[in-house]
């Protein structure tokens, strides 16, 4: 993988029910390069393959054909254990629903990804989680059960949790879709700020054209193919150091 490249797909196809009567090809030979520090919108009509593409980049699903390189790793040759480790340390996920444990506090939810990581002692986990909670503006609510928070606040906690392991890549699949206009704008602005301050690469799936236009680059997916992608017009920002480093 070229220096400064976080994601590189070549000839990626995804076929469901391969060899069966209801075989369906969802992605048709996708080529995509995403560089470090980019903030990319992924747009297209429902059923176009956006979420399938994100799942393959996020190592939640395997491509049927082609090569998938993420964070410098050729993932098509990795076993399930290696994929799990790369997914846990290199990639953060934010979805339309926050998927928090509502009985846990905001701080406890952010600490969860660090529990199984050997590089974090208990004190280090709390220090990093508190820094991340502060970065999303929720210090005053860090000890509240996440079920007591508003929708926008819950999504902020989900973003902090996604950044817990200091991932190089953040995948956001319609993270503002369930929010009111004001909360959606605040969540998008937060993602943009974290991208600028920490240099985290972001792939942001959205149906909102206003948010798409505020991204560095718009990747349009139609019928399982990339229809438009002005990647050569992008000069990505220089990555910056994360708020806190694992000890």
Per-residue pLDDT of the chain (247 residues; tens, 9 = 90+): 456 999 999 999 999 988 889 899 999 999 999 999 999 999 999 889 999 999 999 999 999 999 999 999 999 899 999 999 999 899 999 988 888 999 999 999 999 988 877 666 678 889 999 999 999 999 999 999 999 999 999 999 999 999 999 999 999 998 888 888 998 999 999 999 989 988 999 999 999 999 999 999 999 999 999 988 776 444 444 444 344 444 3
CATH code assigned at 45: 3.40.50.300
Residue 97 main-chain phi, psi, to 5 deg: -100, 140
For residue 46, give its domain range. Answer: 37-63+79-230
Residue 149, domain member (yes or no): yes
Q: In whole angstroms, what is the distance from residue 20 CA to residue 175 CA?
A: 34
In a domain, 244, yes or no: no
CB-based contacts of 146, cutoff 8 Å, min separation 6: 98, 100, 101, 102, 104, 105, 106, 109, 154, 157
In a domain, 24, yes or no: no
Number of domains in the chain: 1
Residue 124 counted as domain residue:
yes
**71 within a domain of the structure (yes/no):** no
The number of beta carbons lying within 10 Å of the beta carbon of residue 104 is 16
Q: What tokens were used for 195?
A: 């991208």
Rounded to 10°, the helix 151-162/122-135 angle is 130
């Amino acid at each position: 993988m070229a220096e400064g490249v976080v994601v590189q797909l070549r000839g990626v196809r995804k076929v469901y029910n391969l060899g069966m009567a209801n075989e369906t090809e969802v992605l048709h030979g996708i080529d995509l390069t995403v560089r470090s520090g980019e903030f990319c919108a992924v747009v297209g009509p429902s059923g176009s393959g956006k979420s399938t593409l994100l799942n393959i980049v996020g190592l939640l699903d395997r491509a049927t054909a082609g090569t998938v390189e993420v964070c410098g790793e050729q993932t098509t040759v990795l076993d399930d254990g290696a994929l799990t480790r790369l997914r846990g340390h290199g990639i953060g996920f934010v979805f339309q629903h926050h998927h928090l444990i509502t009985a846990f506090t905001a701080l406890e939810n952010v600490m969860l990804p660090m529990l199984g990581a050997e590089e974090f002692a208990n004190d280090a986990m709390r220090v990093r989680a508190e820094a991340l909670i502060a970065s999303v503006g929720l210090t005053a609510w860090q000890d509240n059960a996440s079920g007591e928070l508003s929708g926008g606040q819950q999504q902020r906690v989900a973003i902090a949790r996604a950044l817990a392991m200091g991932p190089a890549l953040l995948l956001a699949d319609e993270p503002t879709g369930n929010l009111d206009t004001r909360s959606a704008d605040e969540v998008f602005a937060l993602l943009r700020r974290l991208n600028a301050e920490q240099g985290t690469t972001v792939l942001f799936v959205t149906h909102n054209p206003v948010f798409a236009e505020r991204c560095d680059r718009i990747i349009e997916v139609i019928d399982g193919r990339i229809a438009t992608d002005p990647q050569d017009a992008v000069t990505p920002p220089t990555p910056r150091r994360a708020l806190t480093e694992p000890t």
